[in-house]
Amino acid sequence: MKNLEFLTDLYQLTMMQGYLQHGYEEKDAVFDLYFRNIPNGGGYAIAAGLEQVIEYIETLHFTDEDIDYLSGLNLFNTEFLVALKNFHFSGDIDAVPEGTPVFPYEPLVRVKARIFEAQLVETTLLNLVNFETLIATKAFRVVTAAGGGSVAEFGLRRAQGPDAGVLGARAAIIGGCQSTSNVLAGQKFGVPVSGTQAHSWVQCFPSELESFRAYAKSFPDQCLLLVDTYNVLKSGVPNAIKVGLELEAAGHHFLGIRIDSGDLTYLSREARLMLDEAGLYDAKIVGSNDLDEHTIWAIRAQGAPIDSWGVGTHLITSKDTPALGGVYKLCAEGQNGVFEPRLKVSENTTKITNPGIKKIVRFYDRGGKAMADLIALEDEYFKEPLTIFDPLQTWKKKTLTNFTTKEILKPIFRSGKCVYNLPSIQEIQAYTQSEMATIWDEVKRLTNPHRYIVDLSPKLYNLKQELLQQISDQVNEVEESCK
């Protein structure tokens, strides 16, 4: 990854200069990166983007050219520019491993560093984690809808720019897609690439049959034919059958056909009958055509014999929820390792932050299924029986017994050095599958999912209430003094 030092909002830099001018640059701070709402109307999200976060932190620096540019803005003083010239990240970062199911208000990334450093990385961390988490989540929903059929990510041409196309393809693989049409992503991340031909290939030949035979000659063992250029059932499938039989007779294996328009349920049924009648029982049918998880689910529910799916626009843009909306909020500040909790208040209760240095504890039943998550203070530990409660509707309680626990946040950087061993993309995909297997199917429903329990520990809840009361008292004092 190229150096992304300027992939930030201007106010990060202006605040950094302000910290320096007022002697706050050595103040320590802790920030949480989290989201408030689950995308796509679902019951979960899947964390992604950590590898790019690590690359960003490790390469973060300012060149002479960067300093010259900032100097030319006439916003920044010499002291600040010198500090940037010598900048390197020296703090701690903890994060949820990629592929982990996560839920609202849980810190996906926790940054503990000098506020001068922690402030700078906010925008880039949000950019990387928000996008890849969003696409990995969408991909898992699509793969779930496919019910065991393979899914290829076909979204590059509809992605919001090259970076979104490449990182979106990576996130789609994390979410369970088996391949991508994006050759650059295939090279960069070592993932399978897939694709056949476009309608233009078929149109460039004097006839559809000639185009199919030409493709079969070029790729006799990878021949999957696009059959909807002219007429799927009257032309495309019959011509594909002719070529398929010729390949089989020559000792090759005919892969199958792709249908990219029309009623995929009806067309795939009829095509399957025609292929089977011709003896091409192993020929696969691939469906594409502006698909999403809901369309795939409906087509499968109607009994369509489609073996695999190509999904583009709706996946790479997460079209129904095009942004995750993650935030990066200060939760503690201090000096020399001693921290005080901090709280942001809002009239919108969903925007009131959770104070203090926190961790996520996941509770499992004896069968290995996740029962609930507890957002807790870093020094807390739990034993059974444990009664937890909803932080907003406190009368909703649940007592947990016979459980095992796992802390979800893992050390990534310590004193600016990466201490985390990056898994391969294939290992992350396998981890996603194993972690999502611990989540109940009711939570993974595509529509009207069951709400997974995420509560605050009693200690954190009480701390939050105390701080809210203190802030309320302070506000009242100001109000009284102004009368």
Span 277-295, pLDDT tens digits? 999 999 999 999 999 999 9
Closest by CA position to 385, among listed 377, 397, 395: 397
**Residue 473's pLDDT band (cuts 50, 70, 90):** confident
pLDDT at 336: 86
pLDDT digits (tens, 9 = 90+) for 233-259: 999 999 999 999 999 999 999 999 999
pLDDT at 9: 97
pLDDT at 35: 98
* DSSP state at residue 357: S
The answer to whether residues 112 and 90 touch, using CB atoms and an 8 Å cutoff, is: no
For residue 122, give both structure tokens: 């906010």
* DSSP state at residue 328: E
For residues 70 and 68, give the distance between their C-alpha atoms in angstroms, rounded to a whole number. Answer: 6
Percent above pLDDT 70 for the chain? 100
Average pLDDT, the chain: 96
DSSP secondary structure of 69-111: HHHHTT---HHHHHHHHT----SEEEEPPTT-EE-TT--SEEE
- Residue 368: exposure state from Cβ atoms within 10 A (0-12, 13-18, ≥19): exposed
The answer to whether residues 230 and 217 touch, using CB atoms and an 8 Å cutoff, is: no
Q: Tell me the average pLDDT across 116-144.
A: 98
pLDDT at 481: 79
Element (H, E) at 17: helix 10-21
The answer to whether residues 363 and 371 touch, using CB atoms and an 8 Å cutoff, is: yes
The answer to whether residues 267 and 259 touch, using CB atoms and an 8 Å cutoff, is: yes
* DSSP state at residue 262: S
Closest by CA position to 102, among listed 414, 419, 409, 445: 409
| Long-range contacts (CB closer than 8 Å, 24 or more residues apart) made by 437-445 | 438/101, 438/364, 438/368, 438/369, 438/370, 439/44, 439/101, 439/369, 439/370, 440/369, 440/370, 442/43, 443/43, 443/44, 444/42, 444/43, 444/44, 444/144, 445/43
Longest pairwise C-alpha distance within the chain: 95
pLDDT at 1: 59
The phi and psi torsions of 331 (rounded to 5 degrees) equal -125, -15
Give me the residue spans of the domains in the chain: 10-135+322-473
The amino acid sitting at 76 is F
For residues 120 and 6, give the distance between their C-alpha atoms in angstroms, rounded to a whole number. Answer: 10
For residue 163, give both structure tokens: 């970076």
pLDDT digits (tens, 9 = 90+) for 406-446: 999 999 999 999 999 999 999 999 999 999 999 999 999 99
For residues 433 and 424, give the distance between their C-alpha atoms in angstroms, rounded to a whole number. Answer: 14
pLDDT digits (tens, 9 = 90+) for 4-55: 999 999 999 999 999 999 999 899 999 999 999 999 999 999 999 999 999 9
Q: Which architecture characterizes domain 10-135+322-473 according to CATH?
A: Alpha-Beta Barrel (3.20)
pTM, entire model: 0.96
For residue 417, give both structure tokens: 């050095």
For residues 17 and 14, give the distance between their C-alpha atoms in angstroms, rounded to a whole number. Answer: 5
The amino acid sitting at 226 is L
pLDDT digits (tens, 9 = 90+) for 293-328: 999 999 999 999 999 999 999 999 999 999 999 999
Q: Is the peptide bond before 391 cis (omega within 30 degrees of 0)?
A: no
The answer to whether residues 216 and 246 touch, using CB atoms and an 8 Å cutoff, is: yes
* DSSP state at residue 159: S
pLDDT digits (tens, 9 = 90+) for 185-226: 999 999 999 999 999 999 999 999 999 999 999 999 999 999
Return all residues near 376 (Cβ < 8 A) that are at least 6 apart: 358, 359, 360, 361, 382, 456, 457, 459, 460
For residues 342 and 340, give the distance between their C-alpha atoms in angstroms, rounded to a whole number. Answer: 7
- Compute CA distances 338 → 19, 330, 357, 412, whole Å: 19, 15, 11, 21
Q: Is the pLDDT confidence value at 3 over 90? A: no
Closest by CA position to 309, among listed 346, 238, 355, 258: 258
pLDDT at 220: 97
* DSSP state at residue 41: G
Q: Is the pLDDT confidence value at 456 over 70? A: yes
pLDDT digits (tens, 9 = 90+) for 76-106: 999 999 999 999 999 999 999 999 999 999 9
Exposure string for 292-308, b = 16+ CB within 10 A, e = fewer: bbbbbbebbeeebbbbb
The answer to whether residues 143 and 156 touch, using CB atoms and an 8 Å cutoff, is: no
pLDDT at 480: 74
Q: Tell me the average pLDDT across 51-67.
A: 97
pLDDT at 434: 98
**Residue 268's pLDDT band (cuts 50, 70, 90):** very high
pLDDT at 2: 76
pLDDT digits (tens, 9 = 90+) for 374-402: 999 999 999 999 999 999 899 999 999 99
- Compute CA distances 153 → 259, 364, 412, 426, whole Å: 16, 33, 29, 16
Element (H, E) at 20: helix 10-21
**Residue 337's pLDDT band (cuts 50, 70, 90):** confident
